[in-house]
Amino acid sequence: MSTRVSDARWTGVFYLGLAIAGALGFMVVRGQIYVADDPAATLANLVDQASLARLGIAADMTVVVTQALAALWFFKLFRGENSFAAGAITAFGFVNATAILIATAFSATALAVAGTPALAAAGDQAATVQTLYELQGVTWDLGGLFFGLWLIPMGYVVVTSRLMPVVLGWVLMVGGVAYVIGAYLDQLAPEMPTWVGDVLTSGVATVGELWMIGYLLVVGVRRREKARIPSRGAELEVS
């Protein structure tokens, strides 16, 4: 196995870990704990399901770790094709990982407040817990700006390098733009139907991400072979 293919496989492993941990922590665990517009229910869930809440915090921490590692390995994989785009993937990935780390701090603090009433602001334990979970959700949503942004240079490198299917690159770029638009609409048009935001942030982008993960794990990157031009005796790289 070539070094480049090995790098691609590791990138896929980290990206897969990011996807699984993100789905488990934010979508599954948060859905079991947080109850919109019902602070008392959210507090009761935290108290009754503290172990589940800790699992969610650990999953979010795993998102931070795997996103950082995936960002580094994408740079290692693509820097030879386009160092600027590879650096952009890494930078946007690290900013998004930082946003998730902050969101994790909010949910971890909410769990601490649920177990120690004295930590509650103004003595209102339920309201404090609810506010912290609101902050967690908003931080995840705003961090989506950079999650969308990291897909755009990722797709650009795929299109220009031809190391992977060109269509995959276009899907990633369209998904990245949709993700950014969705993050804006969440704030500018909060009354819009939920499905609109879901389509923008989880539609094309999810297809592109799953395709990218699968390609990295199964294929890696397209191999380059050297072809000689007889008349000049020169070597060219072709896909």
Rounded Cα–Cα distance for residues 40 and 45 (Å): 9
Secondary structure element (H or E) that encloses residue 92, with its range: helix 83-115
| pLDDT at 66 (0 to 100) | 97
Rounded Cα–Cα distance for residues 128 and 224 (Å): 57
The amino acid at residue 70 is A
- pTM equals 0.86
Q: CA neighbours within 13 Å on the CB side: how many for 14?
A: 17
The amino acid at residue 38 is D
Residue-level pLDDT, tens digit, the chain, 239 residues: 678 889 999 999 999 999 999 999 988 999 999 999 999 999 999 999 999 999 999 999 999 999 999 999 999 999 999 999 999 999 999 999 999 999 999 999 999 999 888 888 777 899 999 999 999 999 998 988 998 999 999 999 999 998 999 999 999 999 999 889 888 888 888 787 776 767 776 778 889 999 999 999 999 887 654 434 444 444 444 44
| Contact between residue 226 and residue 239 where contact means Cβ atoms under 8 Å apart | no
Each residue's pLDDT tens digit, 121-146: 777 899 999 999 999 999 998 988 99
* Residue 63 CB partners (closer than 8 Å, separation 6+): 18, 21, 22, 25, 97, 100
Q: Cα 201 to the chain's mean position, in Å?
A: 11
The amino acid at residue 1 is M
3-state DSSP assignment of residue 162: coil
The amino acid at residue 186 is D
Rounded Cα–Cα distance for residues 72 and 90 (Å): 6
The amino acid at residue 199 is V
The number of helix segments (H) and strand segments (E) in the chain equals 9, 2
Report the candidate in 28, 149, 50 with the shortest Cα–Cα distance to residue 99: 149
